[in-house]
Each structure stands twice: as C-alpha cells, then as structure tokens.
Structure 1
Amino acid sequence: MSLISIFFVSLGVGLSGALMPGPLLTVTINESYRKGFVAAPLLVAGHAVLEGALIVLLVLGLDRVLGNEYFFGVVGVAGGAFLFWMGLGMALDVRDRKLHLDLQEHSGMRMGPFVAGLTTSISNPYWFLWWATFGLSWLLISMDRGVAGVLSFYTGHIMADLLWYFLVAFLVVTGKRFLSDRVYNYLILACGAFLMVLGGRFIGAGLASLL
C-alpha cells in the first residue's frame, strides 16, 4: 500500500471513529463554549500526544497489555469514575447557577483543554480496545512501509480528529450568539448527564471484566 493510500484510509477510518458520540465530543462542546474556537486544537493536541505515545508503545509490543481483560477492567472502573466526576461537576455548576455565556472560566473543568484532551481519552477503556484491535491491525499494515508508513498512518488519523472537532467548535462558537444563558445551561447539563451515563457504563463494563 502506498503512503498516500495509508494516509487516506487512516483519515477515513479516523473520521468514522471521531463522528461517534463520546466523551471527547462532549468535552469539545463544553470547552468551545467556555474558551472559544481555540479549545478544539488544544483538545486535539492533547489527544494527539497521547495517541502518538501509544503508537510508539504498540510498535514496541504493548498490544499484549492492551488486549488483557484485567487491564480493560481497571481502565474501565478508573476511567468511568473520572468521567462520572467530570459530568457531575458540570451538572453541579448548572445547579449552582455558575455558568454564563459571558464568563471565560468556571469551576466545571479547571484542567484546561490540552489536559482535558489527554485525560478524557485515557479514561475511555474502549479507546484502548480500539487501538488493541482495529487500530493495531492498520498500524501493522503501515509498518510495512517503515517509519514513513507509520507517520502517514498517524497523520491521517489525527487529521480526521482535527477536521471533525474544528467543525464542532466552529458550529458551537458561531451558534453561541443565538443562545441564551438558559439554553446554554440546559446544553451543559445534557453534556454532564451524558458523561455520567457513559462513566457508569464504563464502570459496569470494567467490573464485568474484573469479576
């Protein structure tokens, strides 16, 4: 497979994954409201650093660890608890009337978009599972072309995240002027509830793997 083919296949596969609703999408919506368009590249940068490090570890043989059900269970419980805590913080901010469209900061997420991109990704056990299975298979194909193949794979994958989350941030920021504080609070409450439900599902899946 040529390098350009690796890039575009990785781009398409990455988009199919990015378009699925998940914690990173929810955090992108929340952070774009708070910090504006700059939140998207920072979130993706944190996500990209983590994925770059993971690809290096996979090349070195980490796939055996990622495919272990106990590893999945531990990540599921710990990551699910973190996502639940994050969602609960957003919901409590709505309850306490701390969120307004004219505020640049609030207490819902003090870590910043870059760190949020890291922590949200690493809290998702299915992110590890995707990389241990489907992601790894494409990485192995890319490795046939050496370092250039791996770089083409990685670049296409991250470009998919950039395209999608830039679009999400753009829609959030441009639509912000048409929203009232009331609608904004309902949206953040929905995002918080989604993270709590997702966190609960991750905890349940993690416990099922451990027990």
Structure 2
Amino acid sequence: MEGPTDPLMFLGWVVLISASGVIAPGPLFATAVARGIDDPRAGLKISLGHAIVEMPLILTIFLGLMAFLQDENILAGIGLVGGAFLFYTGVSMLRPKPEDIEGDTRHGSLMSGIVLTAANPYFLMWWATAGAALIGLAAGFGWWMMLIFIVVHLSCDFAYLGLVSYSVSKGRSLLQGRWLRVIYVACGIFLILFAMYFLYGSLDTFLTLR
C-alpha cells in the first residue's frame, strides 16, 4: 500500500482513519454513555481498558504475527464469546435503575473496556485490514513513527470516549430519573442487538465452514 512520504501527512491519515473507527457507534460507545451517567471519567477508563488490549495487538501485527487475525474459526469463536458477554451485559442493563449501579459504574469501566475490546471480532478484523496497513506505513518511517502512531491512535479513543461520558455526566442535571432510565435501557438494547449480530455472524461462519 502506497502512502504519504511526509510524516505530518501520514499522521493526518492516522487521525482520519482512526476517527472513522472510533466515532462509529458500537459497544464501547454505548457503554461510555451508560456509565457516563454516574462517572464523567468512565470514557477514559474504558479507553484505558481498550488500550490494554490494543497495544499488544499492534505489536503483534508489527512483528508479522497476524495469521490468527485471518483465521475464520478463531474470529467466529471470539464472536460467540463476545456475543454472549454483550447479551449478558445488555440484559443486566435492562433491570437496575441508573441510581443503583453507581458503584459498578465507577469500578467496572476499565474491565468493560478490556472485555468489550477483546471479545469484539470486528475490532480484530479492522486491525487485520485498515489497521495493518497503517502499521505497515508507520514501520516504513522507523520505530519512532510507530511510537507516535500508537500515541496518536490511542489519543483518538481517549478524546472521543472521554468526551462522550463527560457530556453525558454533565447533562445528567438536565434529565430526571425517568429519562436516565430510558437512556440506560436504550444502551442495553443497543448492546443486545450487537450481541445478536455477533452471535449470528459467528454461527453462520461455523455452519458455512462445515
């Protein structure tokens, strides 16, 4: 893949391509909204959990060990586990009131970021395609660009998810309990729909391979 030879132009590519993946609605976004109700820093904690999974993956691709990302059986297996977890999380969000989950919100955001990232097969597929191309271009500049690339890419996650949870937290004063409940349930339904999508895609892959 041919790319820009100017470092600043390449970093501009990184921001644009990374942002396209970050701002797309997904499990991390829904969780940042739900947990942001009680914790304005929830998005930052979720992003940290996301980074804990993402950084070793970037290193793995950089070292050329990405065959597992292209194995349909592995991706389907991850999809089944991830779908089951998302379904459980979504259903649990349909039951309690937002006021009753403050403790879980403050202490579970980091783990949510880790699990939701590791259990998302489409996250791995993104890195096996667009992400791998960016890593290849960064490697062409040298190790120093790889480090800058990682910082810039992760900064997009922290900035967006952090802004989401902060905005939701600050907007809480404008909402009454019933509307907070609606937001929380809506996020739960959103996660359940993602779970069904993951599960259907994974089961279809297993049946097709057989």
**Fold shared per TM-score above 0.5:** yes
- Matched with 2:98 is 99
Residues 102-146 of structure 1: per-residue CA shift (max 9 Å, x gap): x6325xx68611111111111211000000111101111111112
Is the Cα contact below 8 Å between 2:36 and 2:165 reproduced in 1?
yes
Count of residues in correspondence between the two structures: 203
Structure 2 runs not aligned, ≥5 long: none
Aligned 1:68-87 pairs, distance under 5 A:
68-87=71-90
Alignment correspondent of 1:151: 147
Q: Which amino acid aligns with 1:100?
A: E
* Aligned-partner residue type, residue 130 of structure 1: W
> Is 1:183 aligned with 2:186?
no
Q: Which AA in structure 2 matches 1:27?
A: T
CA deviation vs aligned residue, 1:163-193 (integer Å, no higher than 9, x gap)? 2112212220111001111111111111001
Q: State the partner residue of 2:197.
A: 201
SS of match in other structure, 1:144:
helix
Paired residue type of 2:130 = F
Question: Alignment partner of 2:98: what SS?
Answer: coil
2:142 is aligned with 1:139: no
CA distance in 2, matches of 1:110, 1:100: 12
Which of 60, 67, 70 is 2:70 aligned to?
Answer: 67
Question: What fraction of aligned residue pairs are identical, expressed as a percent?
Answer: 29
For 2:109 and 2:14, locate their aligned partners in 1 and report how far apart those are by CA, in whole Å: 25
For structure 1, which segment, 121-130 or 1-10, has the greater mean C-alpha deviation from structure 2 after superposition? 1-10
Tell me, yes or no, if structure 1 residue 21 matches structure 2 residue 25.
yes
Q: Give the TM-score normalised by structure 2.
A: 0.90
Q: What is the match of residue 164 of structure 1?
A: 160
Q: Matches of 1:189 and 1:137 in 2, distance apart?
A: 38
Cα offset for 1:31?
Answer: 1.2
Cα pair 2:45 2:109 within 8 Å, conserved: yes
Task: Output the CA distance in 2 between the equivalents of 1:99 and 1:40.
Answer: 17
CA distance in structure 1 between the partners assigned to 2:106 and 2:204 by the alignment:
32
Structure 1 residue runs without a partner (length 5+)? none
Q: Is the counterpart of residue 33 in structure 1 residue 37 in structure 2?
A: yes
SS at match of 1:48: helix
2:185 corresponds to which letter in structure 1?
L
How far apart are residue 57 of structure 1 and its match? 1.1
| Aligned-partner Cα distance in 1 for 2:82–2:155 | 25
More helix by share: 2
Counterpart of 2:43 in structure 1: which amino acid?
A
Measured in 1, the distance between the counterparts of 2:158 and 2:12 equals: 14
Aligned-residue CA RMSD (Å): 1.7
Tell me, yes or no, if the aligned pair for 1:11 and 1:160 is still in contact at 8 Å. yes
Q: Distance in 2 between matches of 1:62 and 1:20?
A: 27
Compute the displacement of 1:8 (Å): 2.4
TM-score, length basis structure 1: 0.90
